Structure 1
Amino acid sequence: MHSRNLHQGDYDFKQLIEAEPKLAPLVVNKGGKQTIDFSNNAAVVLLNRALLKHHYQISYWHLPQGHLCPPIPGRVDYIHYLADILKRANDNTIAKHPTQITLLDIGTGASVIYPLLAHRVYGWQVIASDIAKTSLNNAQTIIDKNQLSGAIQLRHQVNSNTCFNNVIKPGELIDMTICNPPFFDSLAQARQANQRKWQKLAKHTAASLPADNFNFGGKHNELHTSGGELKFIRRMVNESKYYGQQVMWFTTLVSNKDNVSQIKRALKKVNPQVVEVVKMAQGHKISRFVAWSFMSTEQQRAWCEQRNR
């Protein structure tokens, strides 16, 4: 994990249960260590709630049944690596006024997790978009109950075929974008992958597994989109060229490492000034995000100097 990630090593379940007592009956002892059953969606949600309360002072966090439950350590890792890119753009110094930094989250979901973490850890302002009004309604409740309406602004994306259009306003300046795109091409593909995950967890056989019983949840628009992750990111890349002077850095998670080379080819066609692939590790899991900017080093420095005034 990133060196600034608070979630190094094992969870301290004593502290987490103090933060969220409902977690207590779901904690089990396995191999001499306390843990939870990660195939149990309810346990995963309560673990997240405890982590958010204990480490990030998020007093209220509710996820409707069936919505995607994001693993906190991996999500905050992404935020920390974004902060490193921002620091480097700012002549390797921390921004003087973090509240002047604006992050755009594409597809925030009902959990609104990236905005919560980005604001609590770094004090950034966040714009968060989603195509699902039900997700935005839940996200707004979380924002309101934690008194964060001044820091996190939600916007409804009315067109599922666009990423930045209808969201970024004319003349609006955004320091960085963040995205965890839908991975699968179809619900059937998502189900097959989920069955393999359950088998690996040794909880069910493929035959007995309920088709939509995702341990981390996930509504259809959160899990799959036509063309899968690759088509979604290509669309994002193509749109980004129109906002290259309004956004300093664009970024997106890439779940399938085999897609990276094709994404690089798509980026080459829009001709950004710089492209980076940043690898992240959470335990044995390796993930990555692609970042690109249409601004030169000098332009990024000038951008940051303006922010620091």
Structure 2
Amino acid sequence: MAIKNQLKDKLHPKNIHRNGYNFKALIRVYPALKEFVFINKFGTETIDFSNAKAVKSMNTALLFTYYKLSFWDFPESNLCPAIPGRADYIHHLNDLLKFSGLTNKVKILDIGTGASCIYPILGNAIYDWKFVGTDTDENSLKSAGKILKKNKLTQFIELKQQLDSENIFKGIINKSDKYTATMCNPPFYKSEEEAMLANERKRKGLKIIDKASLRNFSGKQQELWYKGGEKAFVHTYLYESSMFKKQCFWFTSLISKKENVKGMYDSLEKLGATEIKTIPMQQGNKITRIVAWTFLNEKEQKEWN
């Protein structure tokens, strides 16, 4: 019950996971989850969230039950995303688009889509959005492509490789392209060493002994760290967004570090942003936010569609 209340208080009102997890329903759809479910000391069904296989099994069951998937798999070295939090970004982005009258023919550019292709999958399943997902890692895109092909989603979700890891939009957005919005979950850490230290703290906090159980805390370089960390990545993201001002209505990004937000506002004002918004998000004890900005003036916004 405590888990349900915590989710209900902090997830988006439209997030189907805010009322907790119906494990019986999940197991009916994905029987492999059954071996990981147990009753905790509060009398509630749950899983061990420090167990890598349990976490992946849980996420697979959620996707099969609620998001129209029949296949979802990727290499052990890639990040395993938490579905409720990823769905929250989608719901908050939808609120922003509705506020701007952007409900028809929505096309989203997902920066760093990863091997799991999670944001395009959720956005298409929940709101029928079309996507272009980008990544610098060829193997991640191959994995994402396999997921899309097996679930017959290739007509709704396109994948593009960013060939230059120093760029974000350059080499991806062509002159004729037009996107309703972009979305991004930036690399958080400054280096592999910093990421590994954070993983070690998580292991100690969850009292994990088996290093193999760190699957849900793992991830490749482009998923977890970037030279200069989130601040440096976002600086490039902001600057390059100003090079494609008229080709996207809303640029958005998750921002984990609150102290980076003020600098973003200062930079965006200098770059000519006409509107900037901060949308708070929270899942459990994790607090984050979406920062959204546009370069379109009032007339251009009205004429967008």
If the length of structure 1 is used for normalisation, what is the TM-score? 0.92
Distance in 1 of aligned mates of 2:30 and 2:251: 36
Aligned residue for 2:91, secondary structure, equals helix
Q: Does residue 69 of structure 1 match 2:80?
A: yes
Tell me the residue number matched to 1:243. 244
CA deviations on 1:83-139 (whole Å, 9 max, x unpaired) are: 11111111xxx72x4xx2100000000000000001110111100000000000000
Distance in 1 of aligned mates of 2:166 and 2:45: 44
1:181 maps to which of 181, 186, 190: 186
Q: Does residue 252 of structure 1 match 2:257?
A: no
2:49 maps to which of 38, 46, 65: 38
Distance in 1 of aligned mates of 2:58 and 2:115: 17
Tell me the residue number matched to 2:37. 27
2:21 maps to which of 6, 11, 19: 11
Contact 2:52 2:212 in 1 (8 A): no
Tell me the residue number matched to 2:8. none
Deviation of the 1:231 alpha carbon: 0.3
Q: Does residue 150 of structure 1 match 2:155?
A: yes
Tell me the residue number matched to 2:5. none
Distance in 1 of aligned mates of 2:94 and 2:142: 28
Distance in 1 of aligned mates of 2:78 and 2:278: 29
If the length of structure 2 is used for normalisation, what is the TM-score? 0.93
Contact 2:115 2:139 in 1 (8 A): yes
Deviation of the 1:156 alpha carbon: 0.5
Distance in 1 of aligned mates of 2:81 and 2:18: 17
Identity within the alignment, % = 41
1:89 maps to which of 100, 104, 119: 100
Moved more, 35-44 or 128-137: 35-44
Contact 1:191 1:211 in 2 (8 A): no
Aligned 1:202-213 pairs, distance under 5 A: 202-204=207-209, 210=211, 213=214
Distance in 2 of aligned mates of 1:276 and 1:243: 19
Deviation of the 1:210 alpha carbon: 4.1
Distance in 2 of aligned mates of 1:114 and 1:102: 12
Deviation of the 1:42 alpha carbon: 1.3
Distance in 1 of aligned mates of 2:212 and 2:265: 35
Distance in 2 of aligned mates of 1:211 and 1:120: 32
Tell me the residue number matched to 1:285. 286
Tell me the residue number matched to 2:140. 135
Aligned residue for 1:260, secondary structure, equals helix
Moved more, 293-302 or 50-59: 293-302
Distance in 1 of aligned mates of 2:185 and 2:34: 30
1:47 maps to which of 40, 53, 58: 58
Give the paired residue count. 294
Moved more, 195-204 or 159-168: 195-204
Distance in 1 of aligned mates of 2:54 and 2:74: 12
Deviation of the 1:175 alpha carbon: 0.5
Amino acid of the structure 2 residue aligned with 1:117 = L
| Unaligned residue ranges in structure 2 (runs of 5+) | 1-10
2:195 maps to which of 187, 190, 194: 190
Q: Does residue 215 of structure 1 match 2:220?
A: no
Contact 2:52 2:213 in 1 (8 A): no
Deviation of the 1:214 alpha carbon: 4.7
1:80 maps to which of 77, 80, 91: 91
CA deviations on 1:147-195 (whole Å, 9 max, x unpaired) are: 0110000001000001101111112110000000111001110011111
Distance in 2 of aligned mates of 1:73 and 1:65: 21
Amino acid of the structure 1 residue aligned with 2:128 = G
CA deviations on 1:34-68 (whole Å, 9 max, x unpaired) are: 11111111111111100000011111111211210
Deviation of the 1:216 alpha carbon: 3.2
Aligned residue for 2:20, secondary structure, equals coil
